[in-house]
Amino acid sequence: MSTTALPHVRLDSIGKRYSGTKALDNVSVEVAAGTVHALVGANGAGKSTLGKIIGGVIRPDEGQVFVGGRPVRYASPRDARTDGIATISQELSPMPHMTVIENVYFGIEPRRAGIVQFRQMRRRYAELVAEWGFELDGGARVESLRTADIQKAEILRAVASDAQVIVMDEPTSSLTSIETEKLHRMIDVLRERGKTIVYVSHFLDEVLGLADTVTVLRSGRLVRTAPVAEETEESLVAGMFGAAAAAENFTKPAPATAPVVLDVSGLNRRGVLRDISLQLRAGEIVGVAGLIGSGRTELARAVTGADPVDSGTIAVDGTVRHIRSPADAMAAGMAYLPESRKDDGLFLELSVAANITFADLRSVAGRLGVLSLGRERSRTRELLDLTSVRPANPSAKVGHLSGGNQQKVLFARWLLRNPRVLVLDEPTRGVDVAARAAIHRLVNRLAAEGTAVLLISSEIEEVLGLAHRVLVMRRGSITREFSADPPLDAVMEAAFGLGGRTIA
């Protein structure tokens, strides 16, 4: 037990600056071997930056990292991996064109005389998924996977390489509750085997239930490191945002009895969606619950022209619209916030302002004949304010924003358009509790102004908290409908296909 005398990873007075921003300022943290050490903080607090420094993705400007008592300075994540440190990143970017198996064993392929032993690799993969209870087709190309499955591949990759320290940056933000459970069990086993986990999460209940120790960061500075036993959700929130941050209770506005804005009838897509009909009224928030793979995202994509359909009609404000592309959907007054901000939404090389106004360029230009830059700028500022994007600088490059702030930019983009129909897929994924509350307020405000909202979320509490009605999907069909405030277990049972009668 000589290793327990030394912290497994020790960060000493770490500083990291990005033009103008101090992402980390004099942060010292000790991560004990064989523990789960959580990092919490608001969006932009510096959690990912700290994780990246441990994982060799970036290097600190100041201070020193020690691993097992030795000073280290990794040139790359690969360098860190050789030293037993693996990172599961927030951005989910393994080699997209390769298969899951190739990704999992990338760089550690079993070889004989220099030749990769594919059969052995497949056998090891089968053992690996069996051991950890994950279902994931090893032959699938990573680019074809949904976000949760990419996350699973990343986790398997870390485990396969026998990493001693695993940095997990919001690993559960795209997992369902069952998968989250599995991951938690997996982490318990890793800890039993003496592995060290650095765990970034915005789910404070998760942190309190899972971690041994928690470090709170605020604006790049260390607030404190403490055993979780000494913390509560309230104490963590106070640490993250300052004592002034009060928990906010959310009240649902009265359900609308208003005209139908979105009328979807008999939508089919072979093997994906079956006979989907639904109506959204002005001001109504309709939640879609269901397991991953139940067709929720596919529904959102079909309605908004991102995927083709085989049959069915979509009417907006009583007029049937031929929606064959996202541009058609936009022209019909629909806005779609996709699940994956990186693939479907943001231009990482462009500024915040350009990303927000992108969707609006045409309508502003159409209405005014020319683009009014002044108007655009003031609206952008207003929206940054509303969504509390940090830094609140319209000319910052979106690629330089923290994950949660990128999500807020995407949100701001659609707010600018005042859509008739807003389709949200995992709108608060990766955003901190304060921004989450802000987004919930915005969704309500839009609904109060007459927008019809279709809300997809893996967080059942979010669906139940916001929606006036809840639709449950299973295997590509809508199988149940609940009016206001259904009990959580009834919705869960319906999602699993248990209990109750299905609607025709």
Ligand X SMILES: Nc1ncnc2c1ncn2[C@@H]1O[C@H](COP(=O)(O)OP(=O)(O)OP(=O)(O)O)[C@@H](O)[C@H]1O
Q: Residue numbers of the site for ligand X (CB under 6 A)?
A: 18, 21, 23, 41, 43-49, 90, 400-405, 432
Going by C-alpha positions, the residue among 153, 166, 72, 60 that lies closest to residue 106 is 153
Going by C-alpha positions, the residue among 193, 191, 237 that lies closest to residue 210 is 191
Minimum Å gap between C-beta 155 and ligand X is: 18
Cα distance between residue 153 and residue 340, in whole Å: 16
Listed in sequence order, the residues at least 6 apart from 441 whose beta carbon sits closer than 8 Å to its beta carbon are none
Site string for Mg ion, 369-408 (x = CB under 5 A): ---------------------------------xx-----
Residue 141 binds which of Mg ion, ligand X, none (CB < 5-8 A, kind-dependent): none
Q: Does 48 bind Mg ion (CB under 5 A)?
A: yes
Closer residue to ligand X, CB minimum distance, 420 or 436 = 436
Phi first, then psi: what are they for 449, rounded to 5°? Answer: -85, 0
Residue 148 near residue 294, CB atoms below 8 Å: no
Residue 400 binds which of ligand X, Mg ion, none (CB < 5-8 A, kind-dependent): ligand X
Minimum Å gap between C-beta 38 and ligand X is: 13
Subset of residues 76 to 105 that bind Mg ion, contact rule: CB under 5 A: 90
Closer residue to ligand X, CB minimum distance, 47 or 469 = 47
Residue 326 binds which of Mg ion, ligand X, none (CB < 5-8 A, kind-dependent): none
- Helix H or strand E encompassing 274: strand 273-281
Minimum Å gap between C-beta 169 and Mg ion is: 6
Residue 294 binds which of ligand X, Mg ion, none (CB < 5-8 A, kind-dependent): none
Torsion of CA 136, 139, 144, 147, to 10 degrees: 30
Closer residue to ligand X, CB minimum distance, 41 or 326 = 41
Subset of residues 202 to 241 that bind Mg ion, contact rule: CB under 5 A: none
Minimum Å gap between C-beta 52 and ligand X is: 8
Closer residue to ligand X, CB minimum distance, 44 or 338 = 44
Residue nearest to ligand X (CB): 404
Minimum Å gap between C-beta 50 and ligand X is: 7
Residue nearest to Mg ion (CB): 48
Closer residue to ligand X, CB minimum distance, 295 or 404 = 404
Minimum Å gap between C-beta 7 and Mg ion is: 23
The helix/strand/coil state of 9 is strand
Angle at 422 between CA 394 and CA 305, to 5 degrees: 100
Listed in sequence order, the residues at least 6 apart from 70 whose beta carbon sits closer than 8 Å to its beta carbon are none
- In whole angstroms, how far apart are CA 359 and each of 331, 337, 362, 401, 466? 11, 12, 7, 20, 26
Phi first, then psi: what are they for 242, rounded to 5°? Answer: 95, 155
> CB atoms < 10 A from the CB of 10, how many?
18
Closer residue to ligand X, CB minimum distance, 118 or 347 = 347
Please report, as ranges, the residues that interact with Mg ion according to CB under 5 A. Answer: 48, 90, 402-403
